[in-house]
Amino acid sequence: MRKHRIVTWLAAVGLSGALLVSGCSGSRDAAGNTGEKVSLKLGYYSSGSSDAKMQELVKRFMDKHPGIEVTTESAPYGKFFQKLDTQIAAGSAPDVWLSDGVYVAKFAERGAAKDLTDWVSKDLNTDDYYGLEFNKDANGRYWGVPQGVQIAVLFYNKEMFDKAGQPYPNENWTWDDLKQAAEVLTLDSSGRNARDPAFDGKAVNQFGLAFFSITEGWMSVFKSYGGGVLDETMQKSVIQSPENKRALEWIVDGMKRNLFTDPSDLKSFKSPVAPFPSRQAAMRIGIYARVLAANEAGLNYDVTLLPKGPDGKRFAPIIANSWVINSKTSDAKAQAAWEWIKYWVTDDEVQKEWARLGEAVPVKKSVANSPLFLETGTPPQNKQAFLDSFAFAGRLDDNAVWEEWLSKFNDSINRAFLGEMPVEEALAKADRDVQQVLDAFYQK
């Protein structure tokens, strides 16, 4: 009996030992043994397909730059930035990383990103690239170079328009034109549209417009009405303006009449961006990447420019996801990181390969304006609309505390959307809360 126990115990210890060894094994990488080479740590967020493509491009880069050894680290989108914040605090962030466009200002203003202005002016002809100017701060300094650009247009489901006998949206549309079309395209469970007196707003089967949060929701309406959230210094709230009031009233009216999805409607979907691809909305404000889900769902759709405001002003939100260099990295590594960035934006092959993934508008204008991007043979047909939208594109008032003020803003504005708070009160509260966030950071 005792012998049996000893054997069992020894086996358990042996097993733990083996697992311990295998758990520790491979922990020391060989990065230190690179000879004369500069070793560069590259961080990015990715999914399966984009990760494979990125690895392929990294390999090509190393072939062309034998003096640089690149090691990569990637994580799924949300987790990547959580990890990055910890790494920055611990001083172990990658030498160069891919930043969501709305976070570039955060990294710049908090001292984590390197100023790229001199390199950009020396090595890049800024007119050749989309999105580059959207990474400049108020003083004209560059903090990132775009990897791919997301810009918003109006998506519309052609089948639904045909069925309703409505002409497709066009470039001359105003937001009021959109709302009028939405009245006909919003259908209840009995198939009655919103103009029908018997229309049941509590049982909507098809919304006129899918409306979601900032980029694909209120920002383009606010800005095209002449409003916005922050002034040009990005440190002062301008929320309480007559323009914003008109814009918000226009949105709230659409939600009250159930023509647009409100925040509680979105909760009934598998994801807040699902109504359009799941054929529950006739139109959406959507960034370029939304073509992936629409194509995957097999929709018959197209895109056009976002509508104009009452005074003819137009606005297309833009997010230039960008390469950012770690401010704490050594000069040699920073130079190697710049070589990577230059390779990314200037090399036609890289731009073409990335464009084929279909996730973003290519940064290099010559590639974006080529058949490779414009005539892929898959919807939407009018990809030119994405490029034309650059003429009136603008940022999302992003600054070092973008996430924080957005959360406060949404708290108030969502209550107005749901009819729980009058428009004026919601704007006043949002103004106070947002300014408090800005002051807490900038007035220190």
Partner 1 sequence: MNYFRLKKAAGYAVILVSSLVMLLPFATAVFNSLKTYQQYTAVPSTWLPDPAQWSNYAEVWNMADFGTYTLNSLIVAILSVIGAILSNSMIAYAFARLEFPLKNTLFLIVLGTMMIPAVVTMIPQFIIFKELNMLDTLMPLWIIEWLGQPFGIFLLRQAFLSVPTAYEDAAKLDGCNPFQIYWRVFLPMCKPALATLAIFTFMTKWNEILLPVLYLTSKEKYTLPIGILALQGQWTGNEQYLVAAALMSLLPILIVFLLGEKYFVHGAGSSGLK
What is d(CA 106, CA 96) in angstroms, rounded to the nearest whole number? Answer: 15
Give the type of residue at 160: M
278 belongs to the binding site for partner 1 (CB under 8 A): yes
* Of the candidate residues 3, 4, 28, 267, the single one contacting partner 1 (CB under 8 A): 28
Is the Cβ of residue 131 or residue 307 nearer to partner 1 in the bound state?
131
Is the Cβ of residue 170 or residue 189 nearer to partner 1 in the bound state?
189
Q: Give Cα separations from 388 to 2, 36, 86, 171, 382 (angstroms).
A: 82, 47, 39, 10, 10
What is d(CA 386, CA 373) in angstroms, rounded to the nearest whole number? Answer: 11
Is the Cβ of residue 120 or residue 324 nearer to partner 1 in the bound state?
324
* Of the candidate residues 271, 300, 378, 407, the single one contacting partner 1 (CB under 8 A): 271
Q: Which residues contact residue 263 at a Cβ distance below 8 angstroms, ignoring those fewer than 6 apart?
A: 414, 417, 418
* Of the candidate residues 245, 257, 279, 328, the single one contacting partner 1 (CB under 8 A): 279
* Of the candidate residues 36, 127, 296, 331, the single one contacting partner 1 (CB under 8 A): 296
Range 163-184 burial, b when 16+ CB lie within 10 A, else e: ebebeebeeebbbeebbbbbbb
371 belongs to the binding site for partner 1 (CB under 8 A): no
364 belongs to the binding site for partner 1 (CB under 8 A): no
8 belongs to the binding site for partner 1 (CB under 8 A): no
* Of the candidate residues 6, 8, 11, 16, the single one contacting partner 1 (CB under 8 A): 16
133 belongs to the binding site for partner 1 (CB under 8 A): no
Count of residues interacting with partner 1 (CB under 8 A): 46
280 belongs to the binding site for partner 1 (CB under 8 A): yes
Is the Cβ of residue 1 or residue 24 nearer to partner 1 in the bound state?
24
Pattern of binders to partner 1 over 76-115, x per CB under 8 A?
xx-x--xx--xx-xx-x-----------------------
Dihedral sign for Cα atoms in the order 379, 382, 387, 389: negative
Is the Cβ of residue 45 or residue 222 nearer to partner 1 in the bound state?
45
* Of the candidate residues 19, 138, 203, 440, the single one contacting partner 1 (CB under 8 A): 19
- In the complex, minimum distance from the CB of residue 48 to partner 1, in angstroms, rounded to a whole number: 6
Pattern of binders to partner 1 over 37-76, x per CB under 8 A?
--------xxxxxxx---------------------xxxx
What is d(CA 329, CA 87) in angstroms, rounded to the nearest whole number? Answer: 13
* Of the candidate residues 179, 290, 383, 429, the single one contacting partner 1 (CB under 8 A): 290
147 belongs to the binding site for partner 1 (CB under 8 A): no
- In the complex, minimum distance from the CB of residue 194 to partner 1, in angstroms, rounded to a whole number: 18
What the block records as the tokens of 374 is: 């414009």
Is the Cβ of residue 67 or residue 298 nearer to partner 1 in the bound state?
298
258 belongs to the binding site for partner 1 (CB under 8 A): no
34 belongs to the binding site for partner 1 (CB under 8 A): no
29 belongs to the binding site for partner 1 (CB under 8 A): yes
Is the Cβ of residue 22 or residue 139 nearer to partner 1 in the bound state?
22
What the block records as the tokens of 96 is: 């160069």
What is d(CA 340, CA 59) in angstroms, rounded to the nearest whole number? Answer: 11
| Span from 16-24, 250-258, 328-336, 342-350 in contact with partner 1 (CB under 8 A) | 16-24
289 belongs to the binding site for partner 1 (CB under 8 A): yes
Of 379, 391, 385, 342, the closest CA to residue 364 belongs to 342
Torsion-angle region of 73 (φ positive above 0: left; ψ -120 to 50: alpha; else: beta) = beta
What is d(CA 410, CA 420) in angstroms, rounded to the nearest whole number? Answer: 13
270 belongs to the binding site for partner 1 (CB under 8 A): yes
- In the complex, minimum distance from the CB of residue 296 to partner 1, in angstroms, rounded to a whole number: 6
What is d(CA 175, CA 221) in angstroms, rounded to the nearest whole number? Answer: 8
Is the Cβ of residue 39 or residue 205 nearer to partner 1 in the bound state?
205
252 belongs to the binding site for partner 1 (CB under 8 A): no
- In the complex, minimum distance from the CB of residue 286 to partner 1, in angstroms, rounded to a whole number: 11
Q: Which residues bind partner 1 (CB under 8 A)?
A: 16, 19-20, 22-24, 26-29, 45-51, 73-77, 79, 82-83, 86-87, 89-90, 92, 205, 270-271, 274, 277-280, 289-290, 292-293, 296-298, 359
